[in-house]
A and B are shown apart, each in its own frame.
Chain A
Amino acid sequence: MTGTDTSLADFPMRRPGVAFPPPEYAHFREQPGLVRSRLPTGAAVWLVTRHEDVRTVLTDPRVSSNPDHDGFPSLLGRTGGVPSPDTMPGWFVALDPPEHDRFRKTLIPEFSVRRIRQLRPVVERIVGDRIDAMLAAGGTADLVADFALPVPSLVISGLLGVPEVDRDFFESRTRVLVTTTSTDQQREAATKQLLRYLDRLIAIKRKRPGDDLISRLLAAGTITPAELSGVSMLLLIAGHETTANNIALGVLTLLMHPQWIGDAGVVEELLRLHSVADLVALRVATEDLDVSGQLIRAGEGIVPLVAAANHDEGAFGCPHRFDPGRKARHHVAFGYGVHQCLGQNLVRIEMEAAYQALFDRIPGLRLARPAAELPFKYDGVLFGLHSLPVQW
């Protein structure tokens, strides 16, 4: 097939609700080589759907995540848009090694397993406060707006060192950014306001450092204040809707499989099963390479589908079954390679704390609407729920 073939399947495929991912993925995995597909922009891309192929693509140095390269795939309607290193200094997910490494190495002490475990009491307090507020408001709630979104928002603002008095502003602007019903104009305005706020916050921290991530990064001196705005914005966005979707979908799945509530394996299995960031890792080949016998030419776009990889029969038996008893740790829900999610251990802590406190403190928690009628993010870049009405 060639890039001008008009018979290519349109991508992305519409996702079914609870039974994510799209059924086409299973068919794609059985095809030899890779599947050629067409984006809404009209450009053709290679879809990568097998677990081993996704790992291969995401670790090959001939594959770039820099959108400034010709042929880089672009999905229309991406939440918040995709900045490039040119438009936003410090947006290091779009940089390749070795430029990328300076940012990652500076940030990893902040997200080590030990450091994140130390944050557990902070996360638990935030989770507890949200549950108090839901209980005080009555017997019903929208678990997305009232819980799943505010938790990561409050965690990341605390981590960055946003003062308590500014949290409402910070959270409301962030909410605009991650709400799919926001218009492009609203989103653009919110981005500007947040960047302006972060610039000011960084300037204050330069004069009066505190016990927070921004102050420590300034002290390290390897990231410039201008880059630090982009880094902070990236941390803010990356950990937000992804975490919120993971928390909300996890509550739904646990309500549908209550026998697993409290099991130690649920978080890893929920991450695998839902793979919310299926469409996030976009790539382009900078040199010719071969993947599973398929020649990818320099300048051709590649979409490694992490949900497809995580539902590959070859890597996970009965992949559509929710089975926390399986050893799911080799899933690629956080990506793979040098860009693998920096905040993954924070996500795990947030999910653990959320499920533990919710089901302990609200044992009568149940859905207020049938699961099949819930507003899933069928066409969003991230899989998730617009809302999750619950009662107790």
Chain B
Amino acid sequence: MVEISVDTERCVGAGQCVLSAPDVFDQDDDGIVTVLEANPDADQAAEVVQAERICPAQAITVREG
């Protein structure tokens, strides 16, 4: 189980998180990150960790729950 938080102020709308973990992240009408699933399943953990790592604005934080 992981726990996700995002900093919408930092987000630059690259959409890398949406491409990495489409069931967990989305972009709102302004193109800013939104979290669809704040506590994703273990089988999504790898995708979520990748999204954290490749976010160009370092706006995603993932904690092991």
Contact = CB atoms under 8 A, between A and B. Distances in A.
8 contacts: A59-B56, A59-B58, A104-B12, A105-B30, A111-B13, A113-B18, A115-B31, A329-B20
B57 A112 contact: no
A253 interface: no
Contacts of B32: 108
Contacts of B19: 113, 329, 345
A340 interface: yes
Interface string B42-55: 00000000100110
A327 B18 CA distance: 16
Interface string A314-338: 0000000000000101100011111
B40 interface: no
A112 B13 contact: yes
Question: Which of A59, A112, A115, A338 has the most C-beta atoms of chain B within 10 angstroms of its own C-beta?
Answer: A112
B10 to A, nearest CB: 9
A109 B30 contact: yes
Interface of B: 12-16, 18-20, 26-27, 29-32, 50, 53-54, 56-58
Interface size class of A (residues with CB under 8 A): 20 to 34
A112 B31 CA distance: 5
Contacts of A115: 31
A114 interface: yes
A116 to B, nearest CB: 8
Contacts, number: 57
A344 interface: yes
A105 B15 CA distance: 13
Given A105-B30, A108-B32, A338 B50 contact: no
Contact of B12 (A329, A330, A338, A345): A338
A59 B29 CA distance: 26
Contacts of B31: 108-112, 115
A112 B27 contact: yes
Question: Which of B14, B26, B32 has the most C-beta atoms of chain A within 10 angstroms of its own C-beta?
Answer: B14
